[in-house]
Structure 1
Amino acid sequence: MKIEQLYTGCLAQGAYYIESEGEVAIIDPLREIQQYIDKADSNKAKIKYILETHFHADFVSGHVDLAQKTGATIVFGPGATTEYDIHSAKDGEVLKLGKVSIKVLHTPGHTLESATYLLIDENGKDHAIFSGDTLFLGDVGRPDLAIKSDLTKEDLAGMLFDSLREKIMPLADDVIVYPAHGAGSACGKNLSKETVGVLGDQKKTNYALRADMTKAEFIKEVLDGIAPPPQYFAQNAMMNKMGYDAFESVLKTGNVPLQPEEFERIANTESALVLDVRTQADFITGHIPNSIFIGLNGQFAPWVGALIKDLKQPIVLIVPEGKSEEAVTRLSRVGYDNTLGYLEGGLNAWKGAGKDVSSLESISAEDFAQRAKADSLHILDVRKDGEYQSTHLEDATHFPLDLINDNMDAINKDDTYYVHCAGGYRSVIAASILKARGYNNLIDIAGGFGAIKKTDLKTTDFVCPSTL
């Protein structure tokens, strides 16, 4: 028996490869499926099952393409219905894989069809659970993502309570837990940075598995502080349910080199968004006017999903050398399949063609501190609510980056704003969006709040909620 976790940091997502006696099961595959086919081929094995723990909302799974390529059976939990062929398993059904077995445990709550897959070794011992978004390390899945359900989030939270206590907690403490996500995912609120654990540790440390917890307490604690789901979640879930274009065709259409004139023509005639995925330093130094920055070196796919509302939005790319395929791939992971090409030769080619270039002013935290001590400044903080509430600069205007499109009226185009986040990535995203909307008096604070705290600004310049 072989188990391998294939973890993707950008999405904080774990897919799984299980092999026994030449038969393979893939759990929650990503959109780019060749990696799974190659792994099976290298082991002279055949993919038999594609196991989906639920209709994912935070990424587009590769299950449809993988089934078409390999002939493997797609398995969902009880009650799942799709526009393509699947096996909707019964609760307690056992799937044979070589010398091991995989038992389907119906664990509704995160979604109605959510399933946990219990791997039983060749000796009949419970070995591991692949818990999807039902159980994370340190947390459980959010209960507000069911597709077209009349049930409330309180109803689903109650189902999740029962699923955990009836299906998962009775299992032995030494059962390994392989969750679908780790820290950084929006599918929970308190996920651990660890991506593999054991059930006994979760029973001791996971707040949602307290032995003396009532259902009412569980519902209250699970829902407490849960942020609204990112806007692309519902769209991704529907793609996973209804099907989608083959990834190969998306890559073929999107990974196309464009000369500056053709790039500009497509941007204009197709109303394409010019998306710059280089580093924030590159964008600050020079960029195409009205382009939006979301760098590949950060939480790229989730920020694209949060900020570009239309999954069908035409997109043309500014990419680092050799990164065009990666950019198209990572866009497709969250359902953005309408990439129309990238600027060949990058910004140098654009400038060489005599096209206009813009830049973004950026100053060090030390320079900012000197200016703040000498004058009253307009400051824009685009960190998350929790970060801001923990500690922030006095008199800063605040709204989280993912809500920028709803809060532009909070700032004045005639004023100069010093923009910061925690480390410098999100502030440049925010500045690029604002610049594209005509807010031109923007100054980025390099290094963000982390760098500001290291300056000689007086501690009274920082306000904690407990002192307000």
Structure 2
Amino acid sequence: MKIEQIYTGCIAHAAYYLESNGEAAIFDPLREVQPYIDRAFKDNAKIKYVFLTHFHADFVSGHLDLANKTNAKIVYGPTAKPAYEIITAEDGQIFEIGNYKVKVLHTPGHTMESTTFLLIDENGKEHGLITGDTLFIGDVGRPDLAQHVVADLTQDKLARHLYQSLRNKIMPLSDDLIVYPNHGAGSACGKMMSKETTDTLGNQKKTNYALNPKMTEDEFVTAVLTGLTAPPGYFPANVLMNINGYESLDVVLKKANTPLNVEEFELISNETRALILDTRLASEFADGFIPNSVNIGLDGNFAMWVGEMIPDIKQEILLVTETGKEEESMVRLSRIGYDSTIGYLKDGFESWKKAGKEVDTLTRITATELEEKLKNEEIPVFDVRKKSEYLSEHLVGAVNVPLNEINNHLAEFPKEKPFILHCAGGYRSMLAASILKMRGWDNFVDVIGGFTEIKETSLPKTDYVCPTTLL
């Protein structure tokens, strides 16, 4: 069967391309759709359907633009009621793609409209399952997201729906089916996804905790809901965009792709409430940046941290990027619904510097230099990694302020004495540093390489040992 996974690592997302006999289908496309159109063109195929497994929360799907550009039909599963024309498929309905068939399996739980698509080859053999966020490799979709859009859909209700969907629709299927999920490790749509992005259903029945046949419904609910962290704040807004529709990415980019010289950039920055977002590497940002700009580098989990740290999805944004990375920055913002970029600094930060404008810098030290500092004086150390990372292992005496909570804990950072900042590798701590600098702190240093490098020093570390539960 000709099916291809198109994986985008920065948001741990998988779309799928299915082609047979000159007809093609795309499953769960990203916002930018030209790569799918190009892929079908390469096969001299016409995109017939765009299948959506559910209303996505972690990205804005490209189904509307793709349908408009190719005349493909948009297909959702039962109960989906968006504000645009779709085929609302019935449970068990068959769609034909050339010599292949796609069977609809309604699998509510992650959301009520969640649907799994069973792929059947030209010989009538069941080949695989496109599971969306119903079943991941090693995990299942979290059932707490829909309640942020529809209050009546409590996480308990959805978890029970998910239990029944897995038992009645997924687990009875053949072990040799290939599972094609919508996400891999790093996505906020689950809590313990594997780095693997496909597997056999049979192996998942053996290894995935949620498919344990001995697990009762109540045990399943407890297991699935335990350990869930708050979802990123932009999730509900993305769901609504996917339900109600959105402006074409072509239109968004036309407005965003506006080069501004230094004078224009400065004027617009002063006259608007636009956020200056610098997407360069942490090392480049530290060496010089426009005052009051925030560093979220393209080289890391850009979309996730934009969504975590910029609470208003409609926030106007001015971009400072590495030369040639302007449009990539805009597209990656729009993937998660941040469509209000109003321009970028032409010729990048160097043009600002050459114009003699005010420049800020941030001091960084190596882990070895940190070791020497802490031998000679007591300096507070702040660890901005996730709590789970901190509990796993941390520098003795370090205070944990997770990056996504930093704005609620600013009072914990001293203003009258110096302190040290670190994360795992330097990406998140530079984001934190840029926020602190913007808020008026300037008496701190950042550790290059973060805890990864600190671990190699002789500084005392502590391992967290989970207490034994007495039965």
TM-score (norm 2): 0.97
Whole-angstrom CA distance in 1 between matches of 2:143 and 2:127? 27
CA-atom RMSD in angstroms = 1.1
Whole-angstrom CA distance in 2 between matches of 1:430 and 1:219? 36
1:51-450 matched pairs, under 5 angstroms = 51-146=51-146, 147-450=149-452
Whole-angstrom CA distance in 2 between matches of 1:51 and 1:399? 41
Give, as a single letter, the amino acid of the residue that structure 1 aligns with 2:23: E
Structure 2 residues not aligned, in runs of 5+ = none
Whole-angstrom CA distance in 2 between matches of 1:44 and 1:436? 52
Deviation, 1:97, is 1.1
Percent of paired sites with the same residue: 56
Whole-angstrom CA distance in 2 between matches of 1:223 and 1:368? 40
SS in 1 for 2:150: coil
* CA pair 441-463 structure 1, distance change in 2 beyond 3 A: farther
Deviation, 1:464, is 2.8
Equivalent position of 1:50 in the other structure: 50
Whole-angstrom CA distance in 1 between matches of 2:42 and 2:108? 36
Whole-angstrom CA distance in 1 between matches of 2:19 and 2:456? 51
Judge conservation of contact 1:77–1:115 (CA < 8 Å) in 2: yes
Judge conservation of contact 1:391–1:465 (CA < 8 Å) in 2: no
Judge conservation of contact 1:255–1:341 (CA < 8 Å) in 2: yes
Q: Deviations 1:155-183 (Å, cap 9, x if unpaired)? A: 11111010001001111000000000000
Whole-angstrom CA distance in 2 between matches of 1:165 and 1:414? 59
Judge conservation of contact 1:293–1:429 (CA < 8 Å) in 2: yes
Q: Deviations 1:268-305 (Å, cap 9, x if unpaired)? A: 21211000000000001111111000000001111101
Whole-angstrom CA distance in 2 between matches of 1:120 and 1:81? 27
Deviation, 1:412, is 2.4
Whole-angstrom CA distance in 1 between matches of 2:416 and 2:8? 42
Give, as a single letter, the amino acid of the residue that structure 2 aligns with 1:84: Y
Deviation, 1:321, is 1.3
Structure 1 residues not aligned, in runs of 5+ = none
Give, as a single letter, the amino acid of the residue that structure 1 aligns with 2:24: V
Whole-angstrom CA distance in 2 between matches of 1:288 and 1:133? 40
Q: Deviations 1:188-232 (Å, cap 9, x if unpaired)? A: 011010111110010000011011111111111111111111111
SS in 2 for 1:172: coil
Q: Deviations 1:322-366 (Å, cap 9, x if unpaired)? A: 111100000000100011111111121101111001100000001
Deviation, 1:408, is 1.3
Tell me whether 1:34 sits opposite 2:41 in the alignment.
no
SS in 2 for 1:128: strand
Whole-angstrom CA distance in 1 between matches of 2:153 and 2:342? 40
Deviation, 1:463, is 5.2
Whole-angstrom CA distance in 2 between matches of 1:70 and 1:29? 13
Q: Deviations 1:8-51 (Å, cap 9, x if unpaired)? A: 00000000000111111100000000111111112111111100
Judge conservation of contact 1:394–1:463 (CA < 8 Å) in 2: no
Whole-angstrom CA distance in 1 between matches of 2:83 and 2:290? 41
